[in-house]
Amino acid sequence: MNKIKKIPQSEINAKISDALKGNTNAEKWTEDESIAFMNKALELSKDSKYDFIGEVAKDMDSYIEVFDYLAEKFKPLQHVKNQIKRNCEVNCFSNSKKGKIKEATAIVNLKSNHGWTDRQQVGVSGGITLNFDSDDKGA
């Protein structure tokens, strides 16, 4: 009777990775398609109705991770992705000031998606009392 040898998952993963290296058959995104997608998203993000990059992705029938993927795959697109996010950030802040969205919603969005934080009040108040004993006399 033959024994079945269990192959560790790490070894299986390594063999699969080696087999797929250089395989672009399933690749959907060409550089031209990626540029067109990102430029369309950039134009959409200029509309004040977009407060969050996820809304842009939704209206493009896509998802947020595509922006990260394309910006990583085609490095010059990182700048375009950043501009899309900045447009959404400005839209959110502006819409909050104008009362188009609730302030609390804007705060959550700006903190969660744009790195905003509350200011920290740093300061010292009060006094310090120094007590010396006889051993410190003359020090």
Residue 85 lies in a domain: yes
Residue 139 clears pLDDT 60, i.e. is over it: no
CB-based contacts of 79: which residues, under 8 Å, 6+ apart? none
| Range 50-61 average pLDDT | 95
Q: Is residue 3 part of a domain?
A: no
Mean pLDDT of 113-130: 75
Assigned domain for 131 exists:
no
Domain enclosing residue 93, as ranges = 28-114
**Does 58 fall in a domain?**
yes
**What pLDDT score was predicted for residue 11?**
76
Q: How do residues 21-41 score in pLDDT, each as one tens digit?
A: 666 656 789 999 999 999 999
Q: Using the structure block, give the residue that is written with the tokens 């490095």.
A: 75
pTM as predicted: 0.66
Q: What CA–CA distance (Å, rounded) separates 103 from 109?
A: 10
Nearest 5 degrees, angle CA 111-CA 115-CA 116? 55
